[in-house]
Structures are given as C-alpha cells and as structure tokens.
A and B are shown apart, each in its own frame.
Chain A
Amino acid sequence: MPISLSTPNFLIDRNRERCINCQVCVRQCAFEAHSWDAEDERVVTDDLKCVACHRCVTFCPTHALSIRRFPLEFRENANWTANAIKAIYKQAETGGILLTGMGNDQPYPIYWDHLLLNASQVTNPSIDPLREPMELKTFLGRKPDTLRFRGGKLAEKLPPQLELEVPVMFSAMSFGSISLNAIKSLARAAADMGTFYNTGEGGLHRELYQYGEHTIVQVASGRFGVHPEYLAQGAAIEIKIGQGAKPGIGGHLPGEKVGAEVSRTRMIPEGTDAISPAPHHDIYSIEDLRQLIYSLKEATRYEKPVSVKIAAVHNVAAIASGIARAGADIIAIDGFRGGTGAAPLRTRDNVGIPIELALAAVDSRLREEGIRSQVSLVIGGSIRNSADVVKAIALGADAVYIGTAALISLGCHLCQKCNTGKCNWGIATQDPNLVKRLNPDIGAERAANLLRAWEHEIKELLGGMGINALESLRGNRLMLRGVGLSDRDLNILGVKAAGE
C-alpha cells in the first residue's frame, strides 16, 4: 500500500517531569492521539492524530501537556503555503472533496475591527448604566405603516413580534450537527436571558418542547422534522434559504452523526447522510418563496413571525428587498464567516461576502425603498464580542445571531473537526460517550453568562455614547467612524472616516 504523504499538523508536547501517567488524556481523546503502553507503563502519543482541540491539555491534572504546531518546515513560499500543499496530497490520496467544520478562517479583512465607536463629551453627557435605566429590549417582526386608535386605545393589534431582552440570539445549529446536550444548554440559556435559540434544520427533539416559547423553528430545504406540531411549538418560523458558510449548497450531516435520536427527530433512516438540497425544490423564484411564507402563516394562524434566512452574497440587497416584499417579517443574513458542522473547504473559504458590507447594503437599500419598517434584520457570521454587536446595530441590524461564539462558551476550541463526529467537548457529536461530557447544567450557565457579560458591556458602550435605549442606536451610523478603510468601503458602509 503506497505511503501516505500526510504529516502531522500538531505536536503533543509532554513534560515527562510532570506527567504522572494517570491516563486521563488517553481516556479523553476521541481521536486516540494518546495511548497507554502497558509494557513501558507510560502514556505515548501519535501526533498525526492530534487536532489541537485541547481536551487533554485542559484535563491534565498537572498541566504536563502542550500543543504546538508540528515543526515541519517547507521551503518558504508565499504562494504555496503548507496548507495548500497538504491539501493536494490529501486529494491525491482520496479523490474527494475536502470537508471542514466551523467558519472561514482565511485572512480576509474584518470590517468590525475597522469601525470605531463614539463617546459623548461636553455637549452631551454620557450616561452611567449603574445609575440610570439602560434599555436593550427590542422587538423583531413586521411593523405596520401606522397605528390605529379608537377612543384613545389601540384599535388594531400589531403583527406578531418576538420580544428580546438582549439583542443577541443563538444561531441555527441543528440537532445532528451538535448534540442534544448542547442544544439543551442553549435553549435553557435563551429562556433564562429572555432571548431565543434556533433549531437549525434538525427538527425539534421532544425534550426541547418545554422551551417552545424561546424557540425559532427552522424550515430548511430538506424539511427535516417539519410537521404541524413542530410549527406549533416555536415562537417564530425561519425558512432557511442559505447559510453564510456555504452559500449555494445545502446542509450536510454525515451518516456517522445520524443515530437513533437524530433519525427520529429528523424523520430519516439511521446512519444515512442527511443532505439537504441546495434550493428548496418548491422555491425556484421569489414568488414561490412568497407562497411558502404564506403557507406557513396560514398553518400557524398568522400568530408567529416568519423569518427568511439567506447567505450574504453579491446582490444581497436586491434579494432582501424581494424577501421583504414577499411577506417575510424578519430577514436573517449570514455572512461568509458563519460556522457550519460540515462544508466543503473551498466553498466555505471562497463563497459569500462579509456581513458588515451586506448589512450596510441591505439596511440602506430597504430605507431607500421606504420598506425598512416592514422587516427586522438579524445578522450573523461572525459576531465575536459585544463591540461587534454594538457596531452591527449601529450599521442597521435589529439583533444578531451568534453560533461560533455560543459554542465556544460551551467549550469549543475551534479545531474544525466537527464533521468527524468526534468532538471531545461533547458539542458536535452524537456519540453517547462524548455527548455526556457536556453537562447541560454547566453549559446553560456558561452560555447565559456569556449573554449576561455582553449585556453589561453593551450597556457600558451605549451609556458612553449618551444613549439609554437600543432603538436610538439602530441604524445610527453617525456613531461609527472608519479607520484604515478605502473611500469605497466607507461609502458602502455609509460611515464617515475617523477625524471627519
């Protein structure tokens, strides 16, 4: 059998003076990078198997382990990087598509890091969030053209709205791509913090029905798990047209991750790959989307907002305008850095556009057409911290979705091996040995803490700007200034340069 040209990516560095050979690392590594040598009575490692998930490093009771990049030097080549070369070796061996997990890791510009926020001074006092009320409540849904009154009271109810205590929601991550314990953690955290999580295209497991009020149920192209009770459970319904990590192609759940529970919830056979088609096969044009939106509204008696999720692509502004006119109440846009459980590497790294630009373009276009109030905009891909949230709202978003950040709060280390189903942290796996590693009590606490912490930080930033209600930040691009951006970029973002 010809030799494989694959060499290790990482080196496991074991400090023998501190290693007590307790074998915790052996037991914890699902990739089997550590093993016990009974003859020599010590732990040994196979660097080729290490994916740098840091499970062993975290669990080692004496901190005897460290992970380094495997010290293998190619001749310096700015064009043919080590990764580019190794990718070809792999494809020469397998003849297959390179798969990966999580979001685009390539060095494209991050526009959040080129935007700076204002603070009030002298002419306008800043507000202290510890002393004054600071309101982050926001409503997602269609707003009417006018309010109608009768006898001083409201004559006509508003269209259905989602009420958020904090403008951050957990993004769509399907049961199948992640474990039930992971979803339970997010569902509980969302319920505790007064926000929402999204089922993704995996359907809704029975044990999650109790969180229905905080659930956004997704109807994706595979229609996995979609039945009347499913729709009835959710607080809102989201039609997934695309996602930022892989615009133009559908979801992909490898067969290894389709166990009994996934099979039952998705309504598919066990062990089969769950591949969602790229388009919904009943949506080939915008009018078809309108039909589906209204079918869902009819099925739920117009009591729930309907959201449409799209990936950020070149003509996203025009698409969004069409979606608003097709009757959607919320438009969710996923930028090219959005995460995924499994996607072809080349699609993830080369398709789609940055969410910052997409958001600015969509918000401006909807305002130009006078229809911005007809939809709420929710964006994701990738929001990494509270400053990104504030900048997103200032650019025009109503709220943000976090996926990767939420998983990191549960313990994810971004090793990008989600598609193997061997997640050592119990997140992106269906292996019961691994799933139990994620304790939903702890996970819910951690995810809720993340939201709590960001809530405090957002209040501080808002107070600094002299704002005490989130609605005064929405679309308030005068609160942003750009640094290190071209005129073109500034123009598209609708933001002035710092100093102006």
Chain B
Amino acid sequence: MKRVYAREEVCAGCKLCEVHCAVAHSAYPQDIVKAFLRQKVKPIARVLVEENRPISFALQCRHCDEAPCTKACITGAMQKDPLTGVVTNEETRCVGCWTCILSCPFGAIKRDETGRKVAAKCDLCSSAGTLPVCVQHCPNDALVFAEEPGWRR
C-alpha cells in the first residue's frame, strides 16, 4: 500500500504540512482563514514535524501492518481496512480513552478536543478522496506518497 514518506534531507521545517492537515480535517476544509479563525479551538494536525536542528521531518501514522492501536482500542473504533490498509478511527465509536495514544510506538495519535473527545490520526486523506494534503502542499517536495521500498531514488 502507498504511505507518506519523508525526505528529511529537503525538509525546510516550515510546518506547512501541519497547517494544511489541520485545515483538511476541520469544519472548513477549503478555507484556511476560517478554519483557523472561526473555530473556537484551533483545528488539530495529524502530522507532526519532528526537529533536532538541522534535521527535521514530518511524521504521521505509519498505518502499520500490525497496528498496535487497533489491538489497544477498547471499542473497536480503530480499524485497519482490509482492502486499502488504511488505519482509521471511527469517531462515532471512539470514547476518548486514549489507550491507542499510549500504544502507538510513533506517538502519531493526538487528542482531539475540538468537539467530542476523540483520538485523531492521519487517515491518508481517505475520507476526502484526494492525494494526502501534506504531500500536495509540501513546498519542497519533502513528502512523497509511494509504495515502499522503491520510492528512494
């Protein structure tokens, strides 16, 4: 399956990926200004730029083959789609117990308290049906959406 991979040698550390991820998952996915200024609480990004200067790279859910979060989930809200392989959190079933957050070895799951308390994570923009927005909007091509392992030139 295709995943998002980071090329840290060209990551500019700008965090535009975080901005666009947050907007895409907000109440105003097409309007950055409204997404940030209209919502009472700022929208959550599901990708985080890890930094230890001069190194930086964007990290999001790896959609693991054996996803610990799916095993940890007490309600079964966290599922790996058998066809696409994408691991998503069904928010209607999520009770915000944060067990998945503890179990994720990458720290890729966030607490979303903008509405009901639910766990938020990268869904490869599968609900929007587009190429992941972090990849689309990275200004320096530091993120690629590719099959592993052949993506490194």
* Residue positions of A touching B, CB distance < 8 A: 17-18, 20-24, 27-28, 59, 61-62, 426, 431-433, 436-437, 439, 441-442
Chain B positions within 8 Å of A, measured between CB atoms, are 9-16, 18-20, 32-33, 35-37, 53-54, 137, 139-142
Instruction: Please report the number of residue pairs spanning A and B whose Cβ atoms sit closer than 8 angstroms.
Output: 57
In the complex, are the beta carbons of B14 and A433 less than 8 A apart? no
B54 touches A436 (CB 8 A): yes
Query: How far apart are the CA atoms of A335 and B6 in the complex, in Å?
Result: 44
Instruction: Return B67 CB to nearest CB of chain A, in Å.
Output: 30
Q: Which of A28, A433, A436 counts the most chain B CB atoms within 10 A?
A: A436
What's the Cα separation between A24 and B15 when bound, in Å? 6
**Contact at B141–A442, with CB atoms within 8 Å?**
yes
CA distance A38 to B18 in the complex (A): 19
Q: Are A22 and B54 in contact (CB under 8 A)?
A: no
User: Which of chain B's residues have a CB closer than 8 A to the CB of A436?
Assistant: 9-12, 54
- Which residues on B sit within 8 Å (CB–CB) of A20? 19, 32-33, 35-37
Complex Cα distance A439/B32, Å?
26
For this complex, 20 residue pairs linking A to B, each with C-beta atoms less than 8 Å apart, are A17-B33, A17-B37, A20-B32, A20-B33, A22-B16, A24-B15, A27-B15, A28-B14, A61-B137, A62-B32, A62-B33, A426-B12, A431-B54, A432-B54, A433-B13, A433-B54, A436-B9, A437-B10, A441-B10, A442-B140
Give the residues in chain A near B15, CB-CB below 8 Å: 22-24, 27
The reply to whether A24 and B33 form a contact with Cβ atoms under 8 Å apart is no
User: Inside 8 A of B9's CB, which chain A residues have their CB?
Assistant: 436
Nearest CB of B to A193, in Å: 20
Q: How far is the CB of B128 from chain A (nearest CB, A)?
A: 17
Q: A433-B53, A436-B54 are in contact. Are A22 and B142 (CB under 8 A)?
A: no
Among B12, B36, B141, the residue within 8 A (CB) of A22 is B36
The 3 A-B residue pairs with the shortest CB-CB distance, nearest first, are A20-B36, A432-B54, A439-B10
Q: Are A61 and B141 in contact (CB under 8 A)?
A: no
Docked pose: A437 CA to B54 CA in angstroms: 11
Nearest CB on B from A429, distance (A): 12
Instruction: Tell me the minimal C-beta distance from B13 to chain A in angstroms.
Output: 6
Contacts A20-B37, A62-B33 given; indicate if A439 touches B13 (C-beta within 8 A): no
Q: Is the CB of A28 within 8 A of B12?
A: yes
Report which residue of A20, A28, A441 has the largest number of chain B beta carbons within 10 angstroms of its beta carbon: A20
B140-A18 in contact (CB<8A): no
| A22 CA / B63 CA spacing, docked (Å) | 27
Bound-state Cα–Cα, A442 to B13, Å: 17
In angstroms, Cα B53 to Cα A433, docked, is 7
Known contacts A17-B37, A18-B33, A22-B36; 9 further A-B pairs (Cβ under 8 A): A22-B16, A28-B14, A59-B14, A61-B19, A431-B54, A433-B13, A433-B54, A436-B9, A436-B54
